[in-house]
Chains A and B, each alone.
With several copies, the nearest count.
Chain A
Amino acid sequence: MTELKLEKFEGPLDLLLQLIDQEKLSISEIALSKVTEQFFSYLDRLEKNRPEQLADFLMIAARLIFLKSYSLLQYAMPEEEDSGPSLADQLKLYRQYVEASKKINVLWNAGKIAYGRIEPPVKIKEFVLPINARAENLRSMIEALLRRLKPIDPLPKVTIDHSISIKQKLDSFRDLLKRSKKFNFMELLEGAKNKTEVIVSFLALLELAKEKTIRIKQINSFEDMVVIKI
């Protein structure tokens, strides 16, 4: 597998498309599942080189994890209303616009410009004050402008949501492990309100396993997992 250059893709969807193309697959959930690991391998470097885009990649990363975990954890997923198109469908749509953008680029570079004309201005004999250009109008306009220019929180909200929730989950799992040596994954999910929380719990669990704080046992596939403190 050849490494894709980090600066060569536009965003997470573009990276996915390129990974899928590289594997000579067509867009499907199976294809997405096959490139998930590769996708994750780019996240670390991204954090260093394009931190401002991390939130965008995390959104897609969460959906990839969801797809992967769905087959493993189907029993644990709460019923939820469908929240939009599948990732595969979204990717197919994105590809169509990427293709279309190439055609637009050809038009843009064709050097055809339709010029408007400039009618010589009519001379008004004396100065006319527009009825809505009095000092009071200027004042309310600049106040509106200042409201618009008021700096907004520079960090994308999504990043904060994600990092806080994973951190919170990790902390609460650690607390739990202080109190008991062994518990079932399903117990952890009892309070889960939506898919995001299930995924975040799963991510937190993987993180703890990586730290070698816990061991995970599953007797049969699709069954509940037993979490054991090391």
Chain B
Amino acid sequence: MSVISKLESILFVASKPLFFKKIVGVLRAPENDVKAALEDLKLKYNHQDSGIILLENGAEWQMVASPDNKEAAENFLKAEVSGELTRPQLETLTVISYCGPITKPELEQIRGVNCGLIIRNLLLRGLVKEKEDEASLLPTYEVTMDYLRHLGLNTLRELPNYDELHKHPFIETAKIGTQGNL
């Protein structure tokens, strides 16, 4: 069978987000082929009126039911509750959504407040995760697939003004600024 068919089957049975590397390993196919197959599946599923959606969060992929059909889906599985977000949670999630993966000092430079407690709080709620990257000296943080699922977005790139706020000219300088002592 073709890569795309196998990929579709694996994403269907996986029941959780899968890392790109993991998918490549499972399919035992060249990275480029897997990448192309994922793009093809995105085209196949992610359109108006599709009942199945392919979510992309950084290097993770997950097949889910369309957020528009939340109520219908809840006939068959336990309803999840989003719960309110407090202002600090919301503000921190926003910066991580647009700028992740981001280190704690970078986040603090942008928000102007210590973010230790709020990061812990978001990690416990499963809305933020530490990136699995042993190369960087400082841990970096990014939002989880659960967060994306609850926003009803297919990818963070769909956030309003994503390109502008993601590659904001001051972010790079803000990141450098964290090395200064003021």
Contacts and interface: CB of A to CB of B under 8 A. Distances in A.
Interface of A: 10-14, 52-53, 55-56, 59-60, 62-63, 66, 83-85, 89-90, 92-94, 96-98, 100-101, 103-105, 107-122, 124, 127-139, 141-142, 144-146, 149-151, 156, 194-196
30 contacts: A11-B113, A12-B112, A52-B114, A55-B114, A85-B174, A93-B168, A93-B170, A93-B171, A96-B168, A97-B165, A101-B90, A101-B91, A103-B160, A105-B90, A112-B150, A114-B53, A114-B67, A114-B152, A115-B65, A115-B77, A115-B149, A116-B15, A116-B62, A122-B74, A127-B147, A129-B151, A132-B90, A141-B94, A142-B94, A195-B182
B151 to A, nearest CB: 5
Given A104-B159, A116-B64, A130-B83, A13 B150 contact: no
9 tightest A-B CB contacts, nearest first:
A84-B177, A83-B180, A112-B152, A11-B113, A112-B67, A13-B112, A101-B94, A114-B64, A128-B82
Contacts of B160: 100, 103, 135-136, 138-139
B87 A130 contact: no
A145 B94 contact: yes
B88 interface: yes
A149 B112 CA distance: 10
Contacts of A83: 177, 179-182
B97 interface: yes
Contacts of A151: 170, 173
Contact of B68 (A90, A98, A112): A112
- Chain A residues touching B, majority SS: helix
Contacts of A145: 91, 94-95, 110-111, 171
Interface in B43-63: 53, 55, 62-63
Interface in B136-174: 146-153, 159-161, 165, 168, 170-171, 173-174
Interface of B: 9, 12-16, 53, 55, 62-68, 70, 73-74, 77-78, 80-85, 87-88, 90-91, 93-95, 97-98, 109-114, 124-127, 146-153, 159-161, 165, 168, 170-171, 173-174, 176-182
Nearest to A113: B70
A10 B110 CA distance: 13
A101 B118 CA distance: 15
